[in-house]
């Protein structure tokens, strides 16, 4: 629409200049002359911020995955090494037999802060056990403290940080400005991510609107979380600033990833003498920083929602919805225990037969 209007009005001399700014592209350059670029814009994804929620598997977060792996490895290696050392040194009496499983459960009980039934005899074994106890004490106290902090944290989802995130979620619809430079680009490419976006037109996952319809579109569609807006970063900041001025809340976010950089310029008719004259004025305005200053003055509340928090701290009662991950682990452990008990009973009965 934008391209057809520019071509029609400039060809019939209804207008001498198009203010825009318009994205510079080879297709448009065949119809009009571009002035000096005003700015270089990149597109970002604008989505609705979700409601604060707690991760039901948050009890695993106090320790990094590598730490969990290290603990499990140490619980297997340390008792195995100790069992191997005292078995070859012969320091234990013949009637004081301790199996490798007893040794493993000895260190496991220390990890779970339970009493131990195996008494260390050699001095080096007592030293190893003492070091293990101190390590587990520090670890469990650190875990408990971090867990208390995590239980008070709520996470605000911002799921769509790249185009791949949007493509992989079939429940979300993209909103683009109709027939702008971005749309012309992804309709022309033959492979890659933008080709996949073009293919979504046939699936009904792309909605085209005019730029004047952006405020109502984000209020009706994007705020609910099932639509995302793809537009220039600067325009998205304007929309978020206007929404904050109206509601006093930061209900939207912009993606971390940027894509589709385009230069934006004013346009004139082919071989128009106005284009080079206007380019000189644009150079003076941009190099002195006036354009950026005017833009910032146009959106006075833009900084309030520039970096909205992804985590908030609350003081409220925990519910089953917040802790179902812990109960799932407990239930899973009981199910596995019952299965193992059944196998042991079955093995005893078969052995007697």
pLDDT tens profile 320-351: 777 788 888 889 888 988 998 888 888 877 77
pLDDT-based confidence at residue 120 (cuts at 50, 70, 90): low
Residue 288 has pLDDT above 60, yes or no: yes
Determine the average pLDDT of the residues in 292-301.
74
**At CB < 8 A and 24+ separation, what contacts does 257-261 make?**
257/44, 257/45, 257/161, 257/162, 257/163, 258/42, 258/43, 258/44, 258/233, 259/42, 259/43, 259/44, 259/163, 260/42, 260/43, 260/182, 260/185, 261/40, 261/41, 261/42
**Separation of CA 252 from chain center:** 14
* Residue that has been written with the tokens 């590598």 in this structure: 66
What is the arithmetic mean of pLDDT over 53-61? 74
Higher-pLDDT residue of 25 and 330 is 330
> ∠ CA 177-209-180 to the nearest 5 degrees?
25
- Across the chain, mean pLDDT equals 79
Comparison of pLDDT for 270 and 315, the residue scoring more: 270
Nearest to 112 by CA among 152, 149, 71: 71
The DSSP symbol for 304 reads G
Is residue 58 over pLDDT 50?
yes
SS3 97: coil
So what's the pLDDT on residue 228?
Answer: 92
Tens digits of residue pLDDT in 189-208: 888 888 999 888 888 899 99
pLDDT at position 34 over 50:
yes
Q: Is 241 helix (H, G, I), strand (E, B) or coil?
A: helix
Q: pLDDT band at 80, cuts 50/70/90? A: confident
What is the per-residue pLDDT for 315? Answer: 66
Looking up tokens 């520090």, which residue turns up?
138
Task: Please compute the mean of the pLDDT values over residues 269-283 and round it to a whole number.
Answer: 85
Q: What is the C-alpha separation between 348 and 140, in angstroms, rounded?
A: 38
Question: Cα(176)–Cα(201) distance, rounded to whole angstroms?
Answer: 11
What pLDDT does 313 receive? 65
Confidence band, pLDDT 50/70/90 cuts, at residue 62: confident
Q: How many beta carbons lie within 10 A of that of residue 294, not counting itself?
A: 10
> What is the chain's Cα-based Rg?
33
Domain ranges of the chain: 2-53+156-312, 58-153, 319-353
pLDDT above 50: residue 67 = yes
Confidence of residue 90 (pLDDT cuts 50, 70, 90): low
Residue corresponding to tokens 């309709």: 187
pLDDT in tens, 213-259: 888 888 888 988 889 999 888 888 888 888 888 888 888 888 888 88
Tell me: pLDDT of 309 over 80.
no
pLDDT of residue 13: 55
Rounded to whole angstroms, the Cα distance separating 270 from 30 reads: 9
The pLDDT confidence band at residue 12, using thresholds 50, 70 and 90, is very low
HSE (side-chain half, CA atoms, 13 Å) at 66: 0
125: helix, strand or coil: helix
> What integer pLDDT is reported at residue 256 of this predicted model?
86
Q: Which of 142-146, 171-175, 313-317 has the highest mean pLDDT?
A: 171-175
DSSP β-bridge partners for residue 259: 43
Report pLDDT for 264. 81
Residue 68 CA to residue 74 CA, distance in Å, equals 10
Mean pLDDT of 283-297: 79
Least confident of 90-99, 124-133, 289-298: 90-99
- Residue 153 and residue 1: Cα distance in Å, rounded? 47
**Residue 174: what pLDDT?**
92
Global pTM reads 0.58
DSSP state, residue 14 = S
Q: Given a cut of 80, is residue 142 above it in pLDDT?
A: yes
**Residue 99's pLDDT is what?**
60
| Residues above pLDDT 90, as percent of the chain | 3
pLDDT at 37 over 80: yes
Return the CATH number of the domain spanning residue range 2-53+156-312. 3.40.190.10
Q: Is 40 in contact with 261 (CB distance < 8 Å)?
A: yes
Q: Cα(250)–Cα(241) distance, rounded to whole angstroms?
A: 9
148-161 burial, b at 16+ Cβ within 10 Å, e below that, comes to eebeeebebebbbb
Three-point CA angle 172, 176, 178, nearest 5°: 140
Angle at 63 between CA 58 and CA 64, to 5 degrees: 100
């Amino acid at each position: 629409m934008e391209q057809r209007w520019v071509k029609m009005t400039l060809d019939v001399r209804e207008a001498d200049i198009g203010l825009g700014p318009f994205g510079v592209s080879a297709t448009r350059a065949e119809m009009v002359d571009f002035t000096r670029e005003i700015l270089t814009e990149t597109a970002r994804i604008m989505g609705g911020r979700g409601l604060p929620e707690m991760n039901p598997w948050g009890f695993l977060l106090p320790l990094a995955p590598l730490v969990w792996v290290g603990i499990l490895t140490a619980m297997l290696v340390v008792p195995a090494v100790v069992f191997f050392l005292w078995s070859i040194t012969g320091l234990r009496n013949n009637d004081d037999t301790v199996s490798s499983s007893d040794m493993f459960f000895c260190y496991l009980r220390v990890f779970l802060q339970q009493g131990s039934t195996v008494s260390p005899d050699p001095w080096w074994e007592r030293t190893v056990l003492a070091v293990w106890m101190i390590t587990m004490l520090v670890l469990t106290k650190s875990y408990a403290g971090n867990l208390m902090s995590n239980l008070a944290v709520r996470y605000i989802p911002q799921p769509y940080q790249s185009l791949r995130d949007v493509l992989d979620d079939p429940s979300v619809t993209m909103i683009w400005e109709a027939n702008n430079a971005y749309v012309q680009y992804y309709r022309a490419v033959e492979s890659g991510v933008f080709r996949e976006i073009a293919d979504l037109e046939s699936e009904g996952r792309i909605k085209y609107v005019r730029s004047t319809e952006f405020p109502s579109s984000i209020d009706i569609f994007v705020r609910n979380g099932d639509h995302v807006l793809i537009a220039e970063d600067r325009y998205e900041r304007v929309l978020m600033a206007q929404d904050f001025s109206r509601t006093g809340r930061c209900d939207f976010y912009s993606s971390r990833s940027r894509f589709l950089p385009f230069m934006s310029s004013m346009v004139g008719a082919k071989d128009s003498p106005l284009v080079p004259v206007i380019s000189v004025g644009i150079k003076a305005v941009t190099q002195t920083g006036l354009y950026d200053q005017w833009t910032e003055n146009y959106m006075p509340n833009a900084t309030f929602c520039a970096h909205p928090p992804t985590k908030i701290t609350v003081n409220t009662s925990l519910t089953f919805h917040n802790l179902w991950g812990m109960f799932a682990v407990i239930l899973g452990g009981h199910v596995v225990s019952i299965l193992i008990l059944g196998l042991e009973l079955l093995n005893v009965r078969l052995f007697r037969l």
